[in-house]
Amino acid sequence: MGYAHAFVATLSLAVATSGWSEELQLEQDELRFGFIKLTDMAPLAVAYELGYFEDEGLFVTLEPQANWKVLLDRVITGELDGAHMLAGQPLGATIGFGTDAHIVTSFSMDLNGNGITVSNEVWRAMKPHVPMGADGKPLHPIKADALKPVVESYRAAGKPFNMGMVFPVSTHNYELRYWLAAGGIHPGYYSSADVNGQSGADVLLSVTPPPQMPATLEAGTIYGYSVGEPWNQQAVIKGIGVPVITDYEIWRNNPEKVFGVTEGWAKANPNTHVAVVKALIRAAMWLDANANANRSAAVEILARSEYVGADAAVIANSMTGTFEYERGDKRSVPDFNVFFRYYATYPYYSDAIWYLTQMRRWGQIGEQKTDEWYAATAKSVYRPEVYLKAARLLVEEGLANEQDFPWTTDGYRAPQSEFIDGVVYDGRLPNAYLESLAIGLKGTDTPASRELVSAE
Amino acid sequence: MQMLINRVNPYLALLGLGWLVPIMKIASGENLAQQLRDLWQQLGVPLLAIGLFLAVWGGIAARIDTSLGGVPGPAAVWHEAQNLVVEHQAERERRAEFYARQEARNAAALAENPAAEVRVRRYTGKPTYLDQILTSLATVFTGFLLGTLVAVPLGVLAGLSKTVNAAINPLVQIFKPVSPLAWLPIVTMVVSAVYVSSEPLLQKSFVNSAITVTLCSLWPALINTSLGVASIDKDLMNVGRVLQLGWFTQVFKIVLPSALPLIFTGLRLSLGVGWMVLIAAEMLAQNPGLGKFVWDEFQNGSSESLARILVAVFTIGIIGFLLDRIMLALQAAFTYSANR
């Protein structure tokens, strides 16, 4: 109840100064946003529950969606004004992979927050190949090298090795593929003839909605999966699987969900868009404030049935800076969920370009594109102008600190090297980056030409 | 007294309150042993069966372990049912607070600038369980009404004319067994394409679910109506011909009244089918009714989820039963008056 009082206090302050609606003439104040039941929807729930939306004069309804496809379709048809989206969704839709619609984003919702879980059976087979520390516990990060012999034994026995991910353009798909490929396991190519992305694959990946992952794993349809929280912690707590690695260890501080709207909506509602981003920035700040001091309050909000709805203990496991691998092997991962630190909410072009390189790497983009194409596509989807305008207003209103925002960035993070395989990523040189990855399409490859090569 | 009891007897039976009759008869001093036997048949046996069911359920549930914890027994389900009511009340309080805040905000805006435009926005919180039940009922009745408007006229035509019947019969036979899950994607795409408006009166998800219900539920009404019309006594039709009644008079004075019992049988079946498919349609269309409640709880995967889904199962069952009873009562009422 603490934040209810805090909220009333904020509101009366806002009423006293009444500075919320003068600067921004809202085009629309009744909005409907969609989300998927994952802990990284937290900025939306917090902005609603703490009254940040109302402070901006916005009356927002939050609505859980059945799966990522339904969510995207409903944003496109206008049933939803905006939504919690996979970073790949606005990009994929804009370049016409899967769905064709121009979606834009001005707000990154978080960094990290995903994990890869395997079934108990696979874990038992994997464990002998995992390096152990002096304390007898597995040394992290666990590389896919340990999984490779298991996959080979399944394949030798004629059993396809199936794994689940949440959507073809999801972060989880690319992270799982990155991890597998870094361990020498081929996750398969997409092509116009193979929309499931299984050509030449050692491991067959397929789509399962996040909340169904544990049940699908338990049913034996898949042997492992890559998904956001709380569905990895759910598996270990219910004793049906073992999380082996977090995405923080695959690529430290990788960009995750974004808040997406259609280009048409953004054009028609420029001020409303800024107001929404203002509320979301405040929510993100609250989530990371005072070294995650508010996280247990956030867990209480997320555990309500209208938001994530899983048991509070399961959500708390990852939201409060820890992560449980094997049952009882709970380790400290303070940056498992990052909502605001490290400029997490700024929509960097280089983040967009990394996703585009992965679409190219796995054949979702069938032919070579120039570096300029990558930059131009990123610019047409990621809209930092709106973000900076919102941030400026917050600083002027005294609600945020000047130094918390990257005012002068050109939209490219410095080259990043904190990947599990140590390959360096520079968003300015996407083609060179593709060349540096061992498995995957590069240069003038097409999915068909690579298949021929691997068949030989 | 005796007469009164005999007269209300059919109505009580209709409402499922037939067991009141032996009690009344005992009160009026009839043969005690006979009435007690009746009471045992009508009240004792069903109660015993329900008790037995609860005991078996409680016993088995405790033994099955799912990844969401044990299968909830009767006590856990009852507890969650109460919880849902408590949540409903809490949400109503939040709604009141929301409107109070808005009023304060509007008042402040007006105080600052008397010309400011203020309006009241709808509450943005989640629908409660009771709201979801009402949404489901509204959806199923909309779909059912649409279905009736199509099925009854078409059924009358098919019943009157062998040619029309021959024409639509194959289509009816083909579409009748199709599941709502198959219709829904098509309905969704068509509605998205056709139902375009910037300020829609009804949500698309509502329209999708209602139309899916229509498509699945109109067949029993159609078939029974045409059967009812086709099996009208030929003499009756001939009387109409002798009197040289116009076509419409013939239909409204002779055909419909005679076919009414079977039309109602069809409507009753239709409503039953509609209620059954509604849950599936709502799950997929994300219409905020009971189907969405079940889906959301399944997605939540918390330790209370199964118990809450079971509450929904019983709600769906009880409401389905009540709807059937209402239709049966309507059917009885109309049939009697038609025969008089």
| pLDDT value, residue A6 | 47
A192 Cβ under 8 Å from any chain B Cβ: no
Strands A161-165 and A224-228: parallel
| Residue A447 within a domain | no
| Residue A439 within a domain | no
Most A CBs within 10 Å, among B95, B98, B124, B308, to test the A interface? B124
| pLDDT value, residue A23 | 57
Give the range of the structural domain holding residue A147, as residue numbers without chain letter: 114-254
Instruction: Please provide the average confidence, as pLDDT, over all residues in chain A.
Output: 89
A234 Cβ under 8 Å from any chain B Cβ: yes
Looking at the fold, whether A363 and A261 belong to one and the same domain comes out as: yes
A230 upstream amide cis, omega within 30 of 0: yes
Tell me which of A219, A234, A254 is where a domain ends.
A254
Any alpha helices (H) in A96-230, and if so which ranges? Answer: 120-126, 148-156, 171-182, 213-218
Collect all residues with Cβ–Cβ distance below 8 Å to B13 and sequence separation of at least 6: B21
Binning pLDDT at 50, 70 and 90, where does residue A10 land?
Answer: very low
Question: Which residues does chain A have within 8 Å of residue B288's beta carbon, measured at their own beta carbons?
Answer: 63
CATH label of the domain that carries residue A28: 3.40.190.10
For residues B16 and B329, is the Cβ–Cβ distance under 8 A? no
| pLDDT value, residue A1 | 40
B83 Cβ under 8 Å from any chain A Cβ: no
Q: Provide CATH code, domain B129-339.
A: 1.10.3720.10
Residue B286 to residue A70, Cβ atoms within 8 A:
yes
Stretch A166-180: mean pLDDT, rounded?
Answer: 94
What is the percent of chain B where pLDDT is above 70?
Answer: 95
Strands A82-85 and A30-35: parallel
Tell me which of A382, A404, A426 is where a domain ends.
A404
Asked whether residue A134 carries a pLDDT value surpassing 90, the answer given is no
Choose the most confident range, by mean pLDDT, from A168-172, B10-14, B191-195, B336-340: A168-172
Considering only CB atoms, B192 lies closest to which of A37, A77, A234, namely A77
| pLDDT value, residue A13 | 42
Give the gyration radius of chain A's Cα atoms.
22
| Residue A434 within a domain | no
| pLDDT value, residue B338 | 46
Q: How many residues does this entry show for chain B?
A: 340
Q: How close, in Å, is residue A440 to chain B by CA atoms?
A: 34
Q: How close, in Å, is residue B68 to chain A by CA atoms?
A: 7
| Residue A443 within a domain | no
| Residue A422 within a domain | no
Looking at the fold, whether A223 and A261 belong to one and the same domain comes out as: no
Q: How far apart are CA B85 and CA B88, in angstroms?
A: 5
Residues B114-151 have pLDDT tens digits of 877 777 888 888 889 999 999 999 999 999 999 999 99
What is the percent of chain B where pLDDT is above 90?
Answer: 34
Amino acid, single-letter form, for residue B311: V
Looking at the fold, whether A271 and A191 belong to one and the same domain comes out as: no
For residues B306 and B71, is the Cβ–Cβ distance under 8 A? yes
With CA atoms as reference, report the closest residue to A13 among B108, B111, B112: B108
SS3 content of chain B, % helix, strand, coil (to 5): 80, 0, 20
Residues A284-333 have pLDDT tens digits of 999 999 988 999 999 999 999 899 988 898 899 888 888 999 998 999 98
A309 Cβ under 8 Å from any chain B Cβ: yes
- Whether the ipTM is more than 0.90: the answer is no
Instruction: Please provide the average confidence, as pLDDT, over all residues in chain B.
Output: 86
Count how many domains chain A has.
2
Residues B70-98 have pLDDT tens digits of 788 899 899 999 999 999 999 999 999 99
B18 or A111, which is more confident: A111
Q: Give the lowest-confidence range in A112-116, A194-198, B130-134, B250-254.
A: B250-254
Q: SS3 sequence, A324-351?
A: ECCCCCEEECCCCEECCCCCCCCCCHHH
Scanning the structure block, which residue is given the tokens 């999801």?
Answer: A170
Residues B273-296 have pLDDT tens digits of 999 999 888 888 778 899 999 988
Question: Which residues does chain A have within 8 Å of residue B303's beta carbon, measured at their own beta carbons?
Answer: 311
| Residue A446 within a domain | no
Looking at the fold, whether A125 and A90 belong to one and the same domain comes out as: no
What is the percent of chain A where pLDDT is above 70?
Answer: 93
Q: How close, in Å, is residue A245 to chain B by CA atoms?
A: 22
Looking at the fold, whether A152 and A138 belong to one and the same domain comes out as: yes
DSSP secondary structure, A361-415, as one string: HTTSS-S---HHHHHHHHHHHB-HHHHHHHHHHHHHTTSS-GGGS-TT--S-PPP
Considering only CB atoms, B121 lies closest to which of A30, A238, A306, namely A30
Residue A306 to residue B192, Cβ atoms within 8 A:
no
| pLDDT value, residue A397 | 93
Considering only CB atoms, A11 lies closest to which of B67, B101, B302, namely B101
Q: How far apart are CA A193 and CA A77, in angstroms?
A: 28
Asked whether residue A433 carries a pLDDT value surpassing 80, the answer given is yes
| Residue A444 within a domain | no
A228 Cβ under 8 Å from any chain B Cβ: no
Q: Where are the domains of chain B?
A: 2-63, 129-339
A300 Cβ under 8 Å from any chain B Cβ: no
| pLDDT value, residue A451 | 57
Asked whether residue A450 carries a pLDDT value surpassing 90, the answer given is no
Stretch B16-22: mean pLDDT, rounded?
Answer: 76
Minimum CA–CA partner of B191 in chain A: A77
Most B CBs within 10 Å, among A52, A305, A317, to test the B interface? A305
Stretch B219-237: mean pLDDT, rounded?
Answer: 89
B301 Cβ under 8 Å from any chain A Cβ: yes
Tell me which of A203, A235, A254 is where a domain ends.
A254
Residue A309 to residue B297, Cβ atoms within 8 A:
yes
Q: How close, in Å, is residue B126 to chain A by CA atoms?
A: 7
Most A CBs within 10 Å, among B66, B80, B105, to test the A interface? B105
Asked whether residue A412 carries a pLDDT value surpassing 90, the answer given is yes
How many beta-carbon contacts under 8 Å exist across A and B? 80
Question: Which residues does chain A have within 8 Å of residue B302's beta carbon, measured at their own beta carbons?
Answer: 303, 305, 309-311, 314
With CA atoms as reference, report the closest residue to A206 among A188, A218, A186: A188
| Residue A430 within a domain | no
With CA atoms as reference, report the closest residue to B285 among B218, B213, B178, B199: B213
Q: How far apart are CA A268 and CA B253, in angstroms?
A: 58
For residues B321 and B251, is the Cβ–Cβ distance under 8 A? no
Collapsing DSSP to helix, strand or coil, A320 comes out as coil
Considering only CB atoms, A214 lies closest to which of B205, B297, B301, namely B301
Asked whether residue A267 carries a pLDDT value surpassing 90, the answer given is yes
For residues A291 and A115, is the Cβ–Cβ distance under 8 A? no
Burial label for A145, CB within 10 Å (0-12, 13-18, 19+), is middle
A21 Cβ under 8 Å from any chain B Cβ: yes
Looking at the fold, whether A210 and A261 belong to one and the same domain comes out as: no
B192 Cβ under 8 Å from any chain A Cβ: yes
Asked whether residue B318 carries a pLDDT value surpassing 90, the answer given is yes
Asked whether residue A366 carries a pLDDT value surpassing 70, the answer given is yes
User: Taking the CB of residue B96, how many other CB atoms lie within 10 A of it?
Assistant: 11
Q: How far apart are CA A169 and CA A419, in angstroms?
A: 20
**Dihedral angle sign, alpha carbons of residues A396, A398, A403, A405:** negative
Considering only CB atoms, B101 lies closest to which of A54, A60, A306, namely A54
